[in-house]
């Protein structure tokens, strides 16, 4: 290892403060289909998009069914394979939003990566638990490499706590949504994603800093490093850099000459397992809530204590959110011991923004003690609207949520200051009773899990400006769907790192787009006067597009010339990448470095490569 490696090693030692969890749902589409139709659980199941199996359940995998296999090949291997059409992503998006929303209970810093992967920065939660606990924490789940972390910055203990949180996250997802997942725990995003894939399915793995270099070095080639996209991989290959070791050993100066200073350093850092990129919040949740379930609470004083605890935790959770809540909602679950039946109800009311004016100044005391007292009084008032304490009561759950967020803007002309002034001259509270979505569900569907507590705004916060939203259930799953999306999104490719390129670009792109949209809306609002936060939110959602990811994915690859353009563009990202790989191998055999269209035209598929299925037989 050269000097640079040593200096990078040193710099990484001082940067283990964060704890990042990468959550990857096991065979996501297949799990969603198995929830919709539990009979499928025991069948080999493949999810079909066009003529390709985009994912399959684990029963099917035992027959050798693989991601991106042709339907014909899948049926040859497993004639009893059950195929479900997966072109309509509506249900997958709904579930994806629920998962992300659930993750927000652990941290506001949640970054979506495709439909089935998320990064969660739990640094604050870890710090909180570190204060509380005196016991020696042990790691939950698997460990990559050995446990002998020598670093004295405290990272080992933090990551152990992180692994316990990851365990909690995964059991929440499983208990509430019935979905199994994998998790990776590390001090940065790169390592968390990489280590997540080392034990699958339904497992979790932690990597300590001392093993990070070994983890990155274990990758097949530099193209497997998340953050090195397809084009960068080609460029590096052109430079004679293929393996991670090649990249370790290559001279930084020549890399800088070829890639530019910033990119060269970034790439060099990545291959040593160094990644300073933050977890970027993807679309802020429309509500932030917490719930606490228990056997029995029947005293008003206990209710007050529990709600106060929830409030304290909630205030911390949204302290870096940057927004001011406009409404507070209290949820209770009452148990009727005679009818042996429990049901939930919620009440919410608007709260004045002045409560939260100083929230940003001190994270530990986001609001003044006086405001907090008033807020608790408000919360108790809501509670009394649902529970008559003059009679005995039996509660099994209490929940608290903030909703109707407004952006915190300090400028005089900003919409927030407008709203703030307006609200503060009104009475402090304007109560209104609402039958929450959860309640409706409870009344209409007794089969629903008793504590589905994903926020009701999930369905509203579905980020697609998609016409599918208004489509009816029965049409959605028609196999004769004549309105197939032009672009198919494939489930994130977990085992292989096919989505690298997407990760590399999409975060930035979608974030910037979103910021632009936000700014645009705020600008519109401030000129056109006051509108409520709800319409602001819904309009933001209408404009927001998670398809940033997809667009990048599609722009990423140019269609090889011997493949039908329409067919190529309709393929899932994974498959495009695989095709490009196959094409490249074919091309490289004729001319290892040339990138000319000539070679593209003459590309010959490798025997048994996926490419042969797509080349027209003319």
Q: Under the criterion CB under 5 A, does residue 155 sit at the interface with Zn ion? A: yes
**579, 516 Cβ separation under 8 angstroms:** no
Name the one range near Zn ion by CB under 5 A: 3-11, 12-20, 367-375, 470-478. Answer: 12-20
Residue 32 vs 611, nearer CB to Mg ion: 32
Residue 36, number of CB atoms within 10 A of its CB: 12
DSSP E strands, 103-149:
110-113, 117-121, 142-144
Least distance (Å) from Zn ion to the CB of residue 217? 19
SS3 for 562?
coil
437 tagged catalytic: no
What residue is closest to Mg ion based on CB? 494
Structure-token pair, residue 494: 């977990």
What residues contact 117, with CB distance under 8 A and at least 6 apart? Answer: 22, 23, 24, 25, 193, 492, 494
Residue 208 vs 318, nearer CB to Zn ion: 208
Secondary structure of 161-225 in HEC code, one letter for each residue: HHHHHHHHHHHHHHHHHCCCEEEEEECCHHHHHHHHCCCCCCCEEEECHHHHHHHHHCCCCHHHC
Q: Spot the catalytic one: 111, 117, 407, 556.
A: 117
**201, 180 Cβ separation under 8 angstroms:** yes
**106, 120 Cβ separation under 8 angstroms:** yes
Least distance (Å) from Mg ion to the CB of residue 495? 8
Partner from Mg ion, Zn ion, none binding residue 16, C-beta < 5-8 Å depending on class = Zn ion
Partner from Zn ion, Mg ion, none binding residue 403, C-beta < 5-8 Å depending on class = none
Least distance (Å) from Mg ion to the CB of residue 57? 12
How many binding residues for Mg ion (CB under 5 A)?
A: 4
SS3 for 142?
strand
What residues contact 598, with CB distance under 8 A and at least 6 apart? Answer: none
Q: Under the criterion CB under 5 A, does residue 494 sit at the interface with Mg ion? A: yes
What is the DSSP secondary structure assignment for residue 563, as one 8-state letter?
B
What is the C-alpha separation between 507 and 260, in angstroms, rounded? 21
Binding track over 67-106 against Mg ion, x by CB under 5 A: ----------------------------------------
Residue 116 vs 458, nearer CB to Mg ion: 116
Least distance (Å) from Zn ion to the CB of residue 198? 21
Q: What is the dihedral of CA 105, 111, 117, 123, to 10 degrees?
A: -60
Partner from Mg ion, Zn ion, none binding residue 116, C-beta < 5-8 Å depending on class = Mg ion
Least distance (Å) from Mg ion to the CB of residue 75? 24
SS3 for 132?
helix
Q: In which element (H, E) is residue 397 found?
A: strand 395-403
Angle of helix 123-132 relative to helix 155-177, nearest 10 degrees, comes to 110
Name the one range near Mg ion by CB under 5 A: 112-120, 296-304, 389-397, 601-609. Answer: 112-120
Partner from Zn ion, Mg ion, none binding residue 155, C-beta < 5-8 Å depending on class = Zn ion
How many binding residues for Zn ion (CB under 5 A)?
A: 4
Name the one range near Mg ion by CB under 5 A: 110-118, 206-214, 316-324, 411-419. Answer: 110-118
Q: What is the dihedral of CA 413, 416, 417, 418, to 10 degrees?
A: 80
Least distance (Å) from Mg ion to the CB of residue 194? 14
Residue 194 vs 228, nearer CB to Zn ion: 194
How many CA atoms lie within 13 Å of 215's alpha carbon, on the beta-carbon side? 31
Position among 8, 12, 16, 409 found at the interface with Zn ion (CB under 5 A): 16
**499, 493 Cβ separation under 8 angstroms:** yes
Partner from Zn ion, Mg ion, none binding residue 577, C-beta < 5-8 Å depending on class = none
Name the one range near Mg ion by CB under 5 A: 115-123, 357-365, 550-558, 582-590. Answer: 115-123
Q: Under the criterion CB under 5 A, does residue 407 sit at the interface with Mg ion? A: no
Name the one range near Zn ion by CB under 5 A: 16-24, 62-70, 301-309, 400-408. Answer: 16-24
What residues contact 486, with CB distance under 8 A and at least 6 apart? Answer: 569, 570
C-alpha distances in Å from residue 420, one per residue of 159, 324, 389, 526, 544 = 41, 9, 35, 13, 25
Partner from Mg ion, Zn ion, none binding residue 579, C-beta < 5-8 Å depending on class = none
Partner from Mg ion, Zn ion, none binding residue 153, C-beta < 5-8 Å depending on class = Zn ion
Residue 96 vs 287, nearer CB to Mg ion: 96
Residue 238, number of CB atoms within 10 A of its CB: 12
Residue 13, number of CB atoms within 10 A of its CB: 15
Least distance (Å) from Mg ion to the CB of residue 535? 35
Residue 48 vs 533, nearer CB to Mg ion: 48
Structure-token pair, residue 13: 């030692």
Partner from Mg ion, Zn ion, none binding residue 24, C-beta < 5-8 Å depending on class = Mg ion
What is the C-alpha separation between 91 and 331, in angstroms, rounded? 26
Residue 171 vs 483, nearer CB to Mg ion: 171
Name the one range near Zn ion by CB under 5 A: 145-153, 347-355, 411-419, 586-594. Answer: 145-153
Name the one range near Mg ion by CB under 5 A: 89-97, 375-383, 456-464, 494-502. Answer: 494-502
Position among 24, 124, 140, 442 found at the interface with Mg ion (CB under 5 A): 24
Residue 118 vs 350, nearer CB to Mg ion: 118
Residue 186 vs 398, nearer CB to Mg ion: 186
Kindly write down the DSSP assignment for every residue of 233-253, as one continuous string.
HHHHHHTT--SHHHHHHS-HH
Residue 189 vs 323, nearer CB to Zn ion: 189
Q: Phi and psi of 443, rounded to 5°?
A: -75, -40
Least distance (Å) from Mg ion to the CB of residue 25? 5
Position among 33, 87, 116, 525 found at the interface with Mg ion (CB under 5 A): 116
**470, 542 Cβ separation under 8 angstroms:** no
Q: Under the criterion CB under 5 A, does residue 151 sit at the interface with Zn ion? A: yes
What is the C-alpha separation between 106 and 289, in angstroms, rounded? 10
For the annotated catalytic residues, the residue numbers are: 117
Which residues form the interface with Zn ion (CB under 5 A)? 16, 151, 153, 155
Which residues form the interface with Mg ion (CB under 5 A)? 24-25, 116, 494
């Amino acid at each position: 290892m050269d000097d640079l490696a040593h200096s990078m090693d040193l710099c990484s030692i001082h940067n283990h403060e964060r704890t990042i969890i990468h959550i990857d749902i096991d065979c996501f589409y297949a799990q969603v289909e198995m929830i919709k139709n539990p009979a499928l659980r025991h069948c080999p199941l493949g999810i079909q998009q066009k003529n390709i199996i985009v994912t399959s359940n684990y029963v099917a995998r035992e027959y050798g069914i693989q991601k991106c296999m042709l339907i014909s090949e899948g049926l040859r291997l497993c004639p009893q394979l059950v195929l479900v059409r997966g072109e309509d992503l509506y249900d997958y998006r709904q579930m994806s939003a629920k998962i992300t929303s659930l993750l927000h209970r652990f941290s506001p810093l949640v970054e979506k990566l495709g439909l089935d992967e998320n990064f969660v920065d739990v640094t604050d939660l870890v710090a909180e638990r570190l204060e509380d606990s005196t016991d020696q924490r042990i790691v939950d789940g698997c460990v990559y490499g050995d446990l002998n972390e020598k670093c004295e910055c405290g990272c080992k203990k933090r990551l152990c706590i992180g692994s316990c949180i990851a365990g909690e996250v995964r059991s929440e997802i499983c208990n509430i949504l019935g979905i199994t997942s994998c998790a990776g725990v590390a001090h940065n995003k790169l390592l968390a994603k990489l280590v997540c894939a080392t034990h699958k399915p339904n497992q979790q793995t932690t990597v300590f800093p001392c093993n990070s270099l070994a983890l990155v070095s274990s990758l097949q080639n530099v193209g497997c490093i998340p953050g090195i996209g397809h084009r960068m991989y080609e460029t590096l290959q052109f430079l004679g850099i293929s393996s991670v070791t090649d990249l370790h050993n290559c001279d930084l100066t020549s890399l800088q000459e070829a890639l530019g200073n910033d990119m060269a350093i970034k790439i060099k850092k990545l291959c040593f397992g160094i990644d300073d990129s933050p977890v970027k919040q993807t679309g802020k949740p429309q509500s932030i809530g917490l719930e606490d379930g228990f056997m029995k609470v029947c005293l008003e004083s206990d209710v007050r204590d529990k709600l106060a605890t929830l409030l304290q935790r909630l205030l911390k959770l949204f302290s870096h959110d940057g927004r001011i809540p406009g409404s507070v909602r209290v949820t209770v679950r009452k148990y009727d011991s005679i009818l042996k039946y429990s049901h939930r109800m919620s009440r919410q009311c608007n709260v004045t923004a002045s409560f939260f004016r100083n929230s940003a100044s001190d994270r530990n005391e986001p609001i003044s003690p006086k405001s907090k007292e008033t807020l608790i009084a408000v919360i108790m008032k809501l509670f009394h609207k649902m529970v008559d304490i003059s009679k005995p009561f039996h509660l099994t759950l209490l929940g608290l949520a903030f909703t109707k967020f407004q952006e915190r803007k300090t400028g005089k002309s900003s919409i927030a200051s407008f709203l703030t002034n307006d609200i503060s001259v009104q009475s402090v509270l304007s109560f209104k009773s609402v039958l929450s979505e959860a309640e409706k569900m409870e009344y209409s569907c007794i089969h629903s899990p008793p504590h589905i507590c994903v926020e009701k705004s999930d369905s509203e916060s579905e980020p697609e400006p998609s016409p599918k939203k208004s489509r009816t259930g029965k049409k959605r799953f028609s196999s004769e769907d004549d309105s197939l999306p032009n672009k198919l999104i494939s489930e994130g490719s977990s085992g292989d790192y096919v989505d690298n390129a997407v990760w590399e670009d999409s975060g930035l792109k979608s974030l910037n787009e979103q910021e632009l949209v936000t700014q645009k809306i705020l600008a519109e609002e401030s000129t056109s006067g006051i509108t409520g936060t709800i319409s602001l939110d819904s309009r933001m959602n209408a404009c927001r597009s998670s398809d940033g990811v997809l667009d990048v994915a599609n722009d990423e690859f140019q269609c090889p010339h011997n493949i039908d353009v329409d067919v190529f563009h309709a393929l899932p990202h994974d498959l495009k990448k695989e095709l490009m790989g196959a094409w490249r191998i074919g091309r490289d055999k004729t001319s290892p470095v040339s990138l000319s269209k000539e070679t593209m035209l003459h590309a010959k598929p490798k025997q048994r490569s996926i490419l042969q299925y797509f080349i027209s037989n003319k």
